[in-house]
Chain A
Amino acid sequence: MAERGTNRRPDHLTPVPDPAPDVGALLSAVARGDEQAFGRLYDLVATRVYGLIRRVLRDPAQAEEVTQEVMVEVWRSAAQFDSGRGSATGWIFMISHRRAVDRARAAQASTDRDARVGAASIDTPYDSVADEVTGRLERQQVRHCLDELTELQREVVNLAYYQGYSYPQVSEVLGTPLGTVKTRMRDGLIRLRDCMSTGVAA
């Protein structure tokens, strides 16, 4: 199954044998008011939450503000998380993405956001190499799976997810009919789902 080079996990990159409790367990502890568990949860997800929000908003100061709102929201509503509907990390990223998009749309109304297509390159000033080995592997998988999409699928997913565009905006930017954009969003996600589920098993 993992015959592709990108799925290979070189021995020296194998993450530290998981002493990290999983996000789901931490989230239930957080739901019971455990601040220490929240601190550990923060450490597990903050780079991705901040990374995602920053990628959508592009402005580090705003991203910091929204990340704080999201993390406080996670604390507030941890007991509302419904494990029957998805993973704890998924839930946290959904809140993050939603808040980032809300903020971006509000900003779009008054400022002229740079509408460059494709991934914005973002420096990571606080990037420290040591604690990101696992993260790199995850990113590799996302990139690998995005590469498996058709060009149009990749563009619509990128514009919507990483840039916070609505589907009519995507349609306008790409000059592609609305119906096609909607369909590509759906089948792109389905293809991503299939690719990611095979990769995870590795």
Chain B
Amino acid sequence: MSADIHTLVGPYALDAVDDLERAAFERHLRECEPCRLEVDELRETAARLADGAWSVPPPRLRENVMAEIANTRQIPGRPPEVAAPGRATTSRRRWLVAAAAVVVAATGAGTAVYAVQDQRVRHEQALAESARASEARVRSVLAAPDLVVREQPLKSGGRVTVATSSLLDAGVIMLAADGAPATGRVYQLWTIRAGAPASAGALTAGQSAIVQIVDGLPDSSAVGVTVEPAPGSAAPTAPLDALVQIT
């Protein structure tokens, strides 16, 4: 995977990857010092392109920003570098955490596409609310220093990404299918422990993407995805659409 994932260096530097790829790529960066140097340089180059875009903001914006920062607490600085070796640096975490926020936001948006158009606004509001609620937990897991990210394609098209942290004894399953299953069928996630599958949640009809937090996920041996009759099954009844080995 790492030889392949590094081909994303250009798209990553241009913010042209999706959130799952970003999480996987950032995992790759943690383990590859030369890659990190290349990425830093290319990101810096990409940032210089901002010099090519120039527009004077309305004067009130300065006042608004100054007023808001006067009431905004700052995040304390990075702790001195006495941290245990191998710990992810703050900056790398920062990117990963940012990625997590996007995962949640993007999932919400992706789902909204399939929502009834008339109710779009109300739908998006509801999604934004639930996204905010789970975002903090997703962030904390994806920012874990010992995060391991694995990914498999779905036979039906799309991908499933599983990120686990033994330290937090939790994991995140991110499903991004190319489309929703046929009418009357839904995607369902399974954790497999000692050979026995347990449901980790079914998507609703028409839903093709989800970000799911699963406590104790590192203890499972694998995560499976199936397409089940709506609204989901007690045990898998369909062949695996994808299987991600954890151990």
A5 within 8 A of B: no
Q: For the complex, what is the distance from the CA of A173 to the CA of B108, rounded to whole Å? A: 24
A126 and B57 contact, CB distance less than 8 A: yes
Shortest beta-carbon distance, A23 to chain B, in Å?
12
In the bound complex, residues from chain A placing their C-beta under 8 Å from that of B66 are 35, 38-39, 42
Stretch among B13-21, B136-144, B210-218 lining the A interface? B13-21
Residue among B7, B54, B78 with max Cβ neighbours from chain A (10 Å) = B54
Q: From the candidates A80, A161, A192, name the one contacting B75 in the complex (CB within 8 A).
A: A80
Q: From the candidates B45, B46, B50, B73, name the one contacting A48 in the complex (CB within 8 A).
A: B50
Q: For the complex, what is the distance from the CA of A129 to the CA of B51, rounded to whole Å? A: 16
A31 and B55 contact, CB distance less than 8 A: no
Shortest beta-carbon distance, A45 to chain B, in Å?
9
Residue among B18, B53, B74, B78 with max Cβ neighbours from chain A (10 Å) = B53
Q: For the complex, what is the distance from the CA of A193 to the CA of B9, rounded to whole Å? A: 14
Q: Mark A11-26, 1 if CB is under 8 A from B, else 0.
A: 0000000000000000
In the bound complex, residues from chain B placing their C-beta under 8 Å from that of A76 are 72-75
Shortest beta-carbon distance, A30 to chain B, in Å?
8
B34 within 8 A of A: no
A77 and B54 contact, CB distance less than 8 A: no
Shortest beta-carbon distance, B36 to chain A, in Å?
8
A7 within 8 A of B: no
B77 and A68 contact, CB distance less than 8 A: no
Q: For the complex, what is the distance from the CA of A85 to the CA of B33, rounded to whole Å? A: 12
Q: From the candidates B54, B74, B98, name the one contacting A98 in the complex (CB within 8 A).
A: B98
A160 and B11 contact, CB distance less than 8 A: yes
Which residues from 159 to 188 on chain A have a C-beta closer than 8 Å to any C-beta of chain B? 160-162, 164-167, 170, 179, 181-188
A50 and B70 contact, CB distance less than 8 A: no
B41 within 8 A of A: yes
A102 within 8 A of B: yes
Q: Mark B195-208, 1 if CB is under 8 A from A, else 0.
A: 00000000000000
Q: From the candidates A50, A68, A186, name the one contacting B42 in the complex (CB within 8 A).
A: A186
Q: For the complex, what is the distance from the CA of A148 to the CA of B47, rounded to whole Å? A: 18
Q: For the complex, what is the distance from the CA of A179 to the CA of B42, rounded to whole Å? A: 18
Task: Count chain B residues whose beta carbon lies closer than 8 angstroms to a beta carbon of A.
Answer: 62
Which residues from 1 to 46 on chain B have a C-beta closer than 8 Å to any C-beta of chain A? 7-11, 13-18, 40-46
A138 within 8 A of B: yes
In the bound complex, residues from chain B placing their C-beta under 8 Å from that of A128 are 56
Q: From the candidates B10, B41, B90, name the one contacting A188 in the complex (CB within 8 A).
A: B10
Q: For the complex, what is the distance from the CA of A146 to the CA of B51, rounded to whole Å? A: 12
Q: For the complex, what is the distance from the CA of A57 to the CA of B230, rounded to whole Å? A: 38
Which residues from 71 to 109 on chain B have a C-beta closer than 8 Å to any C-beta of chain A? 72-78, 89-91, 94, 98, 101-102, 105-106, 108-109
B120 within 8 A of A: yes
A80 and B54 contact, CB distance less than 8 A: no
In the bound complex, residues from chain B placing their C-beta under 8 Å from that of A52 are 49-50, 53
Nearest residue (CB) in B for A96 is B50
A132 within 8 A of B: yes
B65 within 8 A of A: yes
What are 17 A-B contacts with C-beta separation under 8 Å? A50-B56, A72-B65, A80-B94, A102-B101, A102-B105, A105-B106, A141-B51, A142-B49, A157-B49, A160-B15, A162-B49, A167-B17, A186-B9, A186-B10, A187-B10, A192-B45, A193-B41
Q: Sorted from nearest, which 6 A-B pairs have the closest CB atoms?
A: A185-B10, A186-B10, A79-B77, A142-B52, A51-B55, A109-B109
